[in-house]
Amino acid sequence: MKFLFFISAIFVAFFVSTTESRSCNKICPQYCTTMCFYFNNGKCKQICNSCLADVYACQNHLKIVKSVNSACPTSCL
């Protein structure tokens, strides 16, 4: 019984994550999907345009600053 519960929990988690990814891809370019989840704590917004390098450069700053606007170039928001 515990095994069955474990399997169903994994399925639900997978379904939720794939659903979020799908909705994120509608808003952001494919290569920016991970960044969107990272910057918005799972809520996708279009924060990455054509400046992928700048978005990657913002990661470490965001962990400290906790603000997209103050850490990232305006052109990437």
Alpha-carbon span 6 to 39, nearest angstrom: 30
Tens-digit pLDDT profile for residues 9-35: 444 444 444 444 444 444 444 444 445
Task: Write down the pLDDT at residue 23.
Answer: 46
Closest CA to 27 of 37, 17, 12: 37
> Binning pLDDT at 50, 70 and 90, where does residue 3 land?
very low
73 within 8 A of 61, measured Cβ to Cβ:
no
Tens-digit pLDDT profile for residues 31-67: 444 454 444 455 554 444 444 445 555 554 444 444 4
CA separation, residue 29 to residues 2, 5, 22, 32, 41 (Å): 40, 36, 11, 5, 18
